Structure 1
């Protein structure tokens, strides 16, 4: 069973750290990179004010996480875009699970959660072109723009919030 819930327990902190470390190792084995110390950084955000981390649990084990912000960053979105009620997904990570599409499950949950809470959009960004292309071509996100941020290209995306009646997630 899949459940999406706020990360507010010590077990979530340990689960996020282990899951992100496993994903970072998986990425490295494929010649892709993850930021140094990312597992510790994300685990450290669990339960911190201002960093609303949510976890995707599969049978009680952390299988993914994302940070769900109610404000979009000013460096990525226009003033008009930031004025629209939206959620912003930051730092979405999932355990390596061939064919499970856990990231897609988290994105669909976010679209449903946004619609249920009166938001119009779900926004997100990526710093890897391949990931942004996947989000747009496979998951249906719209690329709004590319921006330069800390010597990297950021790919800024959006989707309209909408209910997901066949969502395989509880919570």
Structure 2
């Protein structure tokens, strides 16, 4: 069974392992990786705010981690957008060994459902790479705008919150892994 649950300090070793696997995958393809941030991302599992989440298989294997916050960065969004209730999804990392079941998509759908349950209108996220923006679009997110931030171009993305029937989707994904 696949479930999203709040991360804890006990998830640190598993999260470290999945991030290292993703880093290896990225580096093999000549992509910038999360490696310099591993310690920080792992330490966030012990966040008392409860905004770090893991996607777990059968209570034993962590397939992904993400952060879902009620407030996003102040840059990249208009003043009107900042007043709209939204959740902000960031630092999503998945184990590349399980990409056929699309753990990133499952986490993104979960965030959309969570936003609807919490009364938010949107799930927002951003990324640095046009290829990642295209991947997020395959999850139903729309490109809102591109902004320059320092020496980086950011792709600001959003998807309307809605209730999704995730129980069946998560069950089908878990069945596909066995």
Tell me the TM-score normalised to structure 1 length.
Answer: 0.91
What residue number does 1:56 align with? 55
Q: CA deviation at 1:51?
A: 7.0
- Report matched runs for 1:79-98 at 5 Å: 79-96=79-96, 97-98=98-99
Aligned length in residues: 168
Residue 102 to residue 39, structure 1, CA distance change in 2 (3 Å): same
Q: Give the structure 1 partner of residue 100 of structure 2.
A: 99
Query: Shift of the alpha carbon at 1:116?
Result: 0.8
- 1:56 Cα offset (Å): 0.5
Q: Is the 8 A contact 1:4 1:169 kept in 2?
A: no
Where structure 2 has 5 or more consecutive residues not aligned to the other structure, the ranges are 172-178
Separation (CA, whole Å) in 2 of partners of 1:166 and 1:36: 31
Q: Which residue number corresponds to residue 29 of structure 1?
A: 28
Aligned residue number for residue 39 of structure 2: 40
User: Does structure 1 conserve the Cα–Cα contact (< 8 Å) formed by 2:6 and 2:50?
Assistant: no
Unaligned runs of 5+ in 1: none
Q: Which runs of 4+ in 1 moved over 4 A?
A: none
Q: Does the 8 A contact of 1:45 with 1:51 survive in 2? A: no
Partner Cα separation in structure 1 for residue 79 and residue 15 of structure 2: 33
1:19 aligns with 18
- Structure 1 residue 50: deviation in Å? 5.1
- In 2: Cα distance, 1:108 partner to 1:3 partner: 12
Corresponding residue for 2:175?
none
Q: Could you report, residue by residue, the CA deviation over 1:67-105 in whole angstroms, capped at 9, with x for unpaired residues?
A: 111012111211211111110001101001241110000
Which residue of 1 is the match for residue 145 of structure 2? 145
- Provide the rounded CA distance (Å) in 2 between the counterparts of 1:112 and 1:29: 34
1:109-136: CA deviation from partner (whole Å, max 9, x where unpaired): 0011111111111000011111001211
- Shift in Å, 1:38: 2.2
SS in 2 for 1:37: helix
Q: Structure 2 length normalisation: TM-score?
A: 0.88
